[in-house]
Structure 1
């Protein structure tokens, strides 16, 4: 399942959760949004 991202171009739930982890408890994070039309949704979810 972990190689789906590279094999099929699909992100698994594991990839999504790993990007959301903050083990250092940093007060800020940088996140990219590469899918047109989803920038506003991503901005709302990250507030």
Structure 2
């Protein structure tokens, strides 16, 4: 299963890098984001 998330164009590279590193270290950080995305896409 694959989901596409929209990332604001204003997001800087360092923020994205930290986000990716943190999500690899703690995948549970993604759960709220996935829940919100699935809720929005099911409407």
TM-score, normalisation: structure 2: 0.30
Query: Which of the two has greater helix per residue?
Result: 2
Pick the structure with greater CA Rg. Answer: 1
